[in-house]
Amino acid sequence: MIYEAPVNIAAIGPYVLSPLPFAYGALAPVIDAETMELHHLKHHQAYIDGVNAVLAGHPQWLGLTIEEVLRRLPELPEEIRETVRHQGGGHANHQFFWKTLTPGGKGRPSGALLAAIDRDFGSYPRFKAAFEAAGLTHFGSGWAFLVCRPYQNFRLEIITLANQDSIHSLAEAAHGLLACDLWEHAYYLRYRNRRADWLKAWWDIVHWDSVAERLDCIRQGRRQS
Ligand code: MN
């Protein structure tokens, strides 16, 4: 199937690296400034450069957000599909990841979010343990996500994906609520090989208010920022 691109839409791409809403050192001691700067300026930028380079020859796709491109991955020409999956996925995953972090953390699950966590995981401590276990047992590079399944009564689910695979490319709709980067580049300078320590420390910088807002948007069918 070939995507028949609209021709008169304003171009969204080439994609660009958005500045972070906090300084590189602001997440310390959980994430040190050097890791954050490398992660954002080098790793994330490289994924953006990679997807822009491959889509430069297929500019109609640059009229879509990266999330929409990833949703329509099977419609992409086969010769660029894998590159877009990896590079475009890397761009989308990091763009989302930054939104889930805030200096010192913000809020704790409460209200409707806590009720959903209790319903689907038993309790907040059990959810945390399950998320850490999923991240720890995921083999190799990838991501751990908390997602909401809109067609399963808005059920919350923990999933891990390999490499830079995207929740937007999943066969069944899953909206992202929270993500933790399991690539060594996310934690190696400070935590070395101790992914378990990274997963435990990471809770302290989770932006729970944004998670709650995202769940609210999903349930109301509103467009997410
Ligand atoms: Mn990363």
156-186 confidence digits (pLDDT tens): 999 999 999 999 999 999 999 999 999 999 9
Q: Residue 13: is its pLDDT beyond 90?
A: no
User: How many angstroms separate the alpha carbon of residue 43 from the centre of ligand 1?
Assistant: 7
pLDDT of residue 224: 65
pLDDT at 118: 98
Higher pLDDT: 166 or 107? It is 166
3-class DSSP assignment, residue 102: coil
- HSE at residue 61, side-chain half, CA atoms within 13 A, is 27
The rounded distance, in Å, linking the Cα atoms of 53 and 51 is 5
Closest CA to 181 of 31, 67, 42, 41: 31
What integer best gives the mean pLDDT of the chain?
Answer: 94
Secondary element (H or E) of residue 214: helix 208-219
Q: How far is the CA of 90 from the centre of ligand 1 (A)?
A: 7
Contact between 164 and 93 under an 8 Å Cβ cutoff? The reply is: yes
Q: Give yes or no for residue 10 having a pLDDT over 90.
A: no
| pLDDT at 223 > cutoff 80 | no
What single DSSP character describes residue 166? -
- Ligand 1 mean position, distance from CA 78 (Å): 26
Distance 162 CA to ligand 1 centre (A): 12
pLDDT of residue 9: 53
- Residue matched to tokens 């995921």: 138
Ligand 1: centre distance to CA 94 (Å)? 6
Q: Which of 224, 212, 222, 221 is nearest to 68 (CA)?
A: 224
Query: Which residues, 6 or more positions from 99, have their beta carbon under 8 angstroms from its beta carbon?
Result: 207, 210
pLDDT band at 46, cuts 50/70/90?
A: very high
